[in-house]
Amino acid sequence: MAIDVLNDPAGREQLLKLGVRNVPVVAKGDQFVFGQNLEDVAEFVGLQGTGHKPLPPEELIKRWIVILQTAQRLMRQMPDAQLLERVIPNRDRSIRLMCHHIFRIGEAFLESVEGGVEYAVQLANVPPQDGTFMTGEEIARYGDTIIARLQNWWNKLEDKSCQQKIKTFFGMQPIYMLYERSTWHSAQHARQLAAVLERNGITPDRSLTPEQLAGLPLPERLWE
């Protein structure tokens, strides 16, 4: 059973009783595992070795760049006057913040793998300063810097297996875990951005295709 801790006070209370402050979490009784590492989740629920087959690291960088470039293209279509509207009615997040977040995910990844910053959920949620990134074009240009930095990271990376360990709030993890998570996380928000455009009567300019999303462990639903 899935519990929406954002909108379910009882669900939040259950989470706090476990001593957990970050989501997603998979719990059985008083035992839990963080949902960021899918292999850990599979082992926890007894499904290790089944299902998801990770993409090769060299394919993942290509996908991530395409995803970010698609997001740039879509946010350039978004009327600036609508950027301060909510993405969805029941969450206090503006379209502006989500658009910025798509690229902040990449910046947080780089801070962890290059700068040694411990990865935590809030790292990718650092908002832009008030009065900045107020147009789709400005946010898209921010995306240019993140795309260039990601490409530079990959080109300079000596061990492209991505099994080197980095610090996260749920222990030492291979780079690949955060690398894959950051890629599909960006993709999920790019999908949402296309849906917001459609809701506003704007036809998205080349949304992500099933082929571009294949092999990424995306949530089934658009808004989870």
Q: What is the pLDDT of residue 99?
A: 98
183: left (phi over 0), alpha (psi -120 to 50) or beta: alpha
Spatial separation of the C-alpha atoms in residues 91 and 86, rounded to whole Å: 7
Q: What is the pLDDT of residues 177-196, one digit of tens each?
A: 999 999 999 999 999 999 99
Q: Give the residue-averaged pLDDT of 188-206.
A: 97
Give 153-181 pLDDT, tens digit per residue: 999 999 999 999 999 998 999 999 999 99
More confident residue, 1 or 139: 139
Residue 220: the pLDDT is 87
**CA pair distance 62, 194, nearest whole angstrom:** 20
DSSP assignment of 112-174, as one string?
A: HHTT-PPB-GGGGGPPPPTTSS-SHHHHHHHHHHHHHHHHHHHHH-S-TT---EEEETTEEEE
Q: State the Cα–Cα distance between residues 28 and 47, nearest whole angstrom.
A: 14
129's enclosing H/E stretch is none
Share of the chain above pLDDT 70, in %: 77
Superfamily for the 57-213 domain: dinb family like domain (1.20.120.450)
Return all residues near 214 (Cβ < 8 A) that are at least 6 apart. none
Q: Amino acid identity of 25?
A: V
Least confident of 44-53, 71-80, 110-119, 160-169: 44-53
Comparing 7-16, 41-50, 133-142, the range with the smallest average pLDDT is: 41-50
Residues of the chain with CATH 1.20.120.450: 57-213
pLDDT for position 52 = 84
The predicted structure's pLDDT at residue 44: 42
Query: What is the mean predicted confidence (pLDDT) over 121-132?
Result: 95
Statement: residue 202 has pLDDT above 70: yes
Q: What mean pLDDT is predicted for residues 113-130?
A: 95
- Confidence bin at 33 (pLDDT 50/70/90): very low
